[in-house]
Structure 1
Amino acid sequence: MATSLCILNNDTLDPAAAPTYINYGVMVEKLLRQAGASDWNVEVFDATAQQYPDSFDRFDAVLLTGSKYDSFSDEPWVVELRRRVRTLLTQKKKLVGICFGHQLIAYCMGAKVGRSDKGWGTGRMTYEWKEPGFPGANGRTQVSLLASHQDQVLELPAGARLVATSDFCPVAAYAKGNEVFCVQAHPEFVPDYSSFLIKRRRGSWTDEKVDKALASLEQGHEGDAIARMIIAFVEGRSTAALAQAA
């Protein structure tokens, strides 16, 4: 039976970008299929419109995308999303979080989440990968990804372990047992989309910050590596190390 993934899309894109990229849910699905999940059953739901499946039981995992909103917001749809995520955590449903999703899951696990005192993280950023034995990591000790965030997970959630870190973003990825895997950066981003987001900040950011972020995109990124880890995590491959930490 094919693996079944529920993607909860948590944002609407700028009208100038939407015709090309559609939404974050579609971007994530495209990334995963390119990385090896070609035969998965993937369904995307719009959490911002409080659209959810009748039941999460038929899915092997639920993935939460990024968003421009705060994970700790009082927006009604965010409050409802948190309610559902807390239920899924109680049920030990396998969860994957990206950026906003990474933050919201941590918040639902009781961790502190908020604005970073370091400001915006943007462009290509490199992280220490602390688990070379993580499913699909193939022994890696660092990873470079495209980021766009001003909020961060400010402490490791209870029961979780740190998977990736940097000076700028100390909790850049975390996992808990076989149930939770979250990353702050955006593996689904492509340089052109990151460039679009960065260029919109010219005027509110210094030219130096904008130019440096744009230049970093030329070095490429490893979103496909995170995609392979997500696939291995969801499919439950090589989970011995995860089970020991559960």
Structure 2
Amino acid sequence: MRVGILQADSVLPQFQKEHGDYPDMFCRILGDAGLGIEFETYAVVNGEYPINPDACDGYVITGSKKSVYDDEPWIKDLSDYIRQLHGRRKKMVGICFGHQLVAHLLGGKTEAASQGWGVGIHQSRIVQKKDFMDPAVEDFGLIVSHRDQVTELPVGAQLLAASEFCPNAMFVIDDHILALQGHPEFTREYALELMQMRAELLGVNILHAGIESLQHELHSDMVSNWIVRFIAGDPA
């Protein structure tokens, strides 16, 4: 199975030596599923795309520090490509920015949420179970790092998971789009460094709560296995 990573941002240079770039993170966490996945990275932020959408079995759209409503040429180009993949019913998984962009493009709404920044490990409850979500659980914890969020689901979306902070934390559209607000690719160590770097932006209360939350249970491996099963073709 070949997975294309549509890279919408890069890890800051000072963090790359220890944590790698975003494609490295996804290769690590999705590769642990043990299915012999081949990865191909396309830096869409720099205008790089597959010559043929069928070059990969599925695509992962990464997070980004940009907002989906920013007036950036590369975001417009990525939006056009997502519409093309959607028209072909090509498997897509949107993470954070990717999750928000898919919703924004397909009839939903993404905006800066009144709740402000969400950081650290957030618990989401399952509201609908799909076959690829194995093992069956009632809730799961993922690292989050976002100010924008999906406030209205796109047309045809089915909500799969919600949290108190982010009511639209995970959804599917038919059997070819999966979107998650959380970051299964982030480690606790990387999340901590991000929060510390953004201390002034976050404020004392959000920063301290985010750091304390890193003690909570994390289900990155489980959710990553869900992603792999989804791309591989387990029914949604």
For 1:158, the equivalent position in structure 2 comes to 155
**Between 11-20 and 128-137, the greater mean CA deviation after superposition:** 128-137
2:113 matched to 1:116?
yes
Amino acid at match of 2:137: R
Q: How far is 1:119 from its partner? A: 0.1
The percent of aligned pairs where both chains have the same amino acid is 32
Q: How far is 1:208 from its partner? A: 2.6
**Gaps spanning 5+ residues in structure 1: where?**
none
**Gaps spanning 5+ residues in structure 2: where?**
none
2:138 matched to 1:141?
yes
Residue 15 (structure 1) aligned to one of 5, 13, 16: 13
Match of 1:208, SS state, is helix
Give the 5 Å matches for 1:121-136: 121-136=118-133
Distance 2:25 2:181 in 1: 16
2:198 matched to 1:201?
yes
Against the structure 1 CA distance between its residues 122 and 134, is the aligned structure 2 distance closer, same or farther, given a 3 Å change threshold?
A: farther
Amino acid at match of 1:33: G
Instruction: Decide whether the 8 Å contact of 1:5 with 1:42 is kept in 2.
Output: yes
Residue 170 (structure 1) aligned to one of 144, 167, 171: 167
Distance 2:200 2:65 in 1: 19
Instruction: Decide whether the 8 Å contact of 1:98 with 1:182 is kept in 2.
Output: yes
Q: How far is 1:201 from its partner? A: 1.9
2:36 matched to 1:44?
no
Amino acid at match of 1:13: V
Amino acid at match of 1:169: C
Amino acid at match of 2:22: Y
RMSD: 1.2
Deviations 1:141-178 (A, max 9, x none): 11111000001011111101001101210100000121
Distance 1:162 1:115 in 2: 20
Instruction: Decide whether the 8 Å contact of 1:9 with 1:23 is kept in 2.
Output: no
Q: How far is 1:86 from its partner? A: 0.8
For 1:71, the equivalent position in structure 2 comes to 68
For 2:101, the equivalent position in structure 1 comes to 104
Residue 51 (structure 2) aligned to one of 51, 54, 60: 54
For 1:215, the equivalent position in structure 2 comes to 212
For 1:84, the equivalent position in structure 2 comes to 81
What is the aligned length?
236
Match of 1:7, SS state, is strand
Give the 5 Å matches for 1:18-37: 18-37=16-35
Instruction: Decide whether the 8 Å contact of 2:199 with 2:207 is kept in 1.
Output: yes
Instruction: Decide whether the 8 Å contact of 1:73 with 1:79 is kept in 2.
Output: no
Instruction: Decide whether the 8 Å contact of 1:96 with 1:102 is kept in 2.
Output: yes
Distance 1:28 1:49 in 2: 19
Instruction: Decide whether the 8 Å contact of 2:117 with 2:206 is kept in 1.
Output: no
Deviations 1:46-105 (A, max 9, x none): 111011111111211111011101122211111110011111111111110100000111
